[in-house]
Amino acid sequence: MTVALHVPRTASDEGVIAAAKKALGSALLGVKEHVGEITLTVKREEIANVLKKLRDTPALEYQQLMEIAGVDYPERPERFEVVYHLLSLTQNRRIRVKLSTDEATPVPSVTALWPVAGWLEREVFDMYGVGFAGNPDLRRILTDYGFEGYPQRKDFPLTGFVELRYSEAEKRVVYEPVSLPQDFRTFDFLMPWEGAEYRLPGDEKATGEAPGAPSPAPAASGPPPVKAKKPRKKKS
């Protein structure tokens, strides 16, 4: 398989899928290998045992948890995917593990395996609203105090629900419902999605001319020529 030159070089994944199937057993729901990367889909309730086996099984040895990410698919019954990225320092290779869940079902925490998972799980909770059972400090970490909603969900409005500003009268930051005044939504400053309603100098060049139409006369570059007067003949 050809890999792009900018991709970091890692060891071959030969034998990893077979070893993972043997170690994980019925907890493994699916395996996919694409562009040199292996993705394991596992049962949600077995995630802690799965990651422990991937870490401790010889020939797998994925010692480091690099990241926990979330993905939102609103059309699915279990709309969220939680994705774990692992790194093997001894084998010099990586693997991806993912599971599915919904808004009401928490995912078992893996903070007992990697303490760093505490912050990573909080990020997924803050952005998507996915709960993690067993996380000792599951609270928001990226958004502000009192933030409403989960900004990485596909159905979250781009404007949010509240806006903040500094109030000179109260000498503090105040929160208010989002308001979009009409003056700011229909301004006309050559917006590319609306365009101006007037013509600017030079716009005439974009207007096509009918076939056979005469070309416009070029502008004079200097003062017009002065015709010399002929002398009058004297009458005899």
In a domain, 227, yes or no: no
In a domain, 127, yes or no: yes
Q: What share of the chain is helix, strand, coil (3-state, %, to 5)?
A: 20, 25, 55
pLDDT in tens, 122-167: 999 999 999 999 999 999 999 887 788 999 999 998 877 888 788 8
* Predicted pLDDT of residue 225: 65
pLDDT in tens, 165-209: 888 888 888 888 887 665 555 555 555 555 556 666 777 776 666
Q: How many domains, the chain?
A: 1
In a domain, 73, yes or no: yes
* Predicted pLDDT of residue 83: 98
Percent of the chain with pLDDT over 90: 56
Domain of 130 in residue numbering reads as 16-148
Among 55, 124, 29, 33, smallest CA distance to 83 is for: 124
Q: What is the CATH number of the domain that holds 80?
A: 3.30.460.80
In a domain, 234, yes or no: no
In a domain, 56, yes or no: yes
* Predicted pLDDT of residue 18: 96
In a domain, 134, yes or no: yes
Q: Which residue has the higher pLDDT, 98 or 217?
A: 98
Give CA–CA dist 160/182, Å, rounded.
18
Is the four-CA dihedral 97, 103, 105, 108 of positive or negative sign? positive
For the chain, give me the number of helices (H) and strands (E)? 4, 9
| Residue that the structure tokens 């998972």 belong to | 117
In a domain, 36, yes or no: yes
In a domain, 46, yes or no: yes
pLDDT at 59 over 80: yes
pTM value? 0.70
Give CA–CA dist 158/149, Å, rounded.
11
Q: What mean pLDDT comes out for the span 91-107?
A: 96
pLDDT in tens, 118-130: 999 999 999 999 9
